Amino acid sequence: MLVLGIESSCDETGVAAVEAFGSATPTLLAHALHSQIEMHQAYGGVVPELASRDHIRRVLPLAEQVLEQSGRALADLDVVAYTRGPGLAGALLVGAGVACALGAALNKPVLGVHHLEGHLLSPFLSADPPRFPFVALLVSGGHTQLMRVDGVGRYDLLGETIDDAAGEAFDKSAKLMGLGYPGGPALSKLAQQGRGDAFKLPRPLLHSGNLDFSFAGLKTAVMTQARKLGDELEARKADLAASTEAAIVDVLVKKTLAALDDTALDRVVVAGGVGANRLLRQQLDAACRRRGVRVHYPELHLCTDNGAMIAMAAAMRLQSGQQEATSVYAFDVKPR
């Protein structure tokens, strides 16, 4: 089964081809990605209309590139998968429209995939994929969730953010410090030159007794601290960045450990853009090593949005019988 996956939910156009035989873990044949970061940088964030237009420009050339690299032709495709949501409505419509048009033209079925399920299953693209069951920490720009995962489509939500997502906390704090967009990587880079204990920042809901998160208060605390510093901010920016990163990572690690306690599982999968964060990986690895818990991450370049995870999630859903591809090409997207 040859699956083409298209991702266009936000500011990356991603296309990939994945091949699946029987029930074996599908393999990635090729993937191509175009990031719009440079285009949006001038505006300090993603401009939805510009994102949609750029997806239109990029998606077909990327698809051609992927097929060529895979040594396959359009006619070889068995299924065309696309991100159905969540994401920006206009951006999603591009991927969905192209996928359904390809499906209709080739007389092949299509499959809409949940973006977060793509992230969740992205560690299966690595050479040493995880085994079910596991605890999943999903940390992206829009979501922060802890899940118990027993198999494809068998997901129990253990806890989630009640306000901002972890990536949002990184991005908004970075913006307050004038670090530009996307803030997470920029803040994390600057943090390497600072001290994580320089400023005392709140760890909201750390002792709440449940697995929910809250990051909105942290952003306010960072703003208050930045104002208090005034002229000194420039000189102390690295310390403030390091303290912010430390606070976010501390909460993510402790809640993940609590989820492991609650579920008595011994495997963790971390996915989503914030999963690329160096400090998070270091601290989670250290804490889990002490407990004999194995941590799986997607490969670094597959942590943020990409087409490979969409093709992979589609292939795994089809293999597990969780979903059937459809030849009804009247698509809809689910922005929320």
Binding-site members for substrate are 138-142, 171, 184, 277
d(CA 298, CA 306): 11
d(CA 310, CA 307): 5
Which one of Zn ion, ligand KG4, none interacts with residue 298, CB within 5 to 8 A by kind? none
d(CA 121, CA 35): 21
Which one of ligand KG4, Zn ion, none interacts with residue 4, CB within 5 to 8 A by kind? none
Which one of Zn ion, ligand KG4, none interacts with residue 170, CB within 5 to 8 A by kind? ligand KG4
Cβ proximity to ligand KG4, 36 vs 188, nearer residue: 188
225 contacts Zn ion (rule: CB under 5 A): no
Tokens of 36: 């719009």
Which residue ranges are tagged as binding site for Fe cation?
115, 119, 305
Cβ proximity to ligand KG4, 70 vs 304, nearer residue: 304
Cβ proximity to ligand KG4, 26 vs 182, nearer residue: 182
**Binding string to Zn ion for residues 115 to 144, with x set by CB under 5 A, is what?**
-------------------------x----
- Least Å from the CB of residue 225 to ligand KG4: 19
Tokens of 84: 């159905």
d(CA 138, CA 115): 11
Cβ 213 vs Cβ 160: under 8 Å = yes
CB half-sphere exposure, 245, CA atoms < 13 A: 32
Site for Zn ion (CB under 5 A): how many residues? 2
- Judged by phi (left if over 0) then psi (alpha if -120 to 50, else beta), residue 100 lies in alpha
Which one of Zn ion, ligand KG4, none interacts with residue 95, CB within 5 to 8 A by kind? none
Cβ 126 vs Cβ 299: under 8 Å = yes
Q: Report the candidate in 261, 266, 283, 265 with the shortest Cα–Cα distance to residue 274.
A: 283
Residue 16 CB-density burial (10 A; 0-12 exposed, 13-18 middle, 19+ buried):
buried
Cβ proximity to Zn ion, 290 vs 336, nearer residue: 336
- Number of C-beta neighbours around residue 180 at 10 A: 16
Q: In the bound complex, which residue of the shown chain has the CB atom lying closest to ligand KG4?
A: 273
Which one of ligand KG4, Zn ion, none interacts with residue 54, CB within 5 to 8 A by kind? none
Q: What residue ranges bind ligand KG4 (CB under 6 A)?
A: 10, 119, 140-142, 167, 170-171, 182-185, 188, 272-274, 276-277, 304-305
Which one of Zn ion, ligand KG4, none interacts with residue 263, CB within 5 to 8 A by kind? none
Tell me the β-bridge partners of 137.
146, 270
- Least Å from the CB of residue 118 to ligand KG4: 9
Which one of Zn ion, ligand KG4, none interacts with residue 169, CB within 5 to 8 A by kind? none
- Least Å from the CB of residue 276 to Zn ion: 11
- Least Å from the CB of residue 276 to ligand KG4: 4
List alpha helices for 71-155, DSSP H. Answer: 89-106, 115-121
Which residue ranges are tagged as binding site?
115, 119, 138-142, 171, 184, 277, 305
Residue 202 CB-density burial (10 A; 0-12 exposed, 13-18 middle, 19+ buried):
middle
- Select from 164, 226, 305, 325 the one that contacts Zn ion (CB under 5 A): 305
d(CA 116, CA 306): 12
Task: List interacting residues with Zn ion (CB under 5 A).
Answer: 140, 305
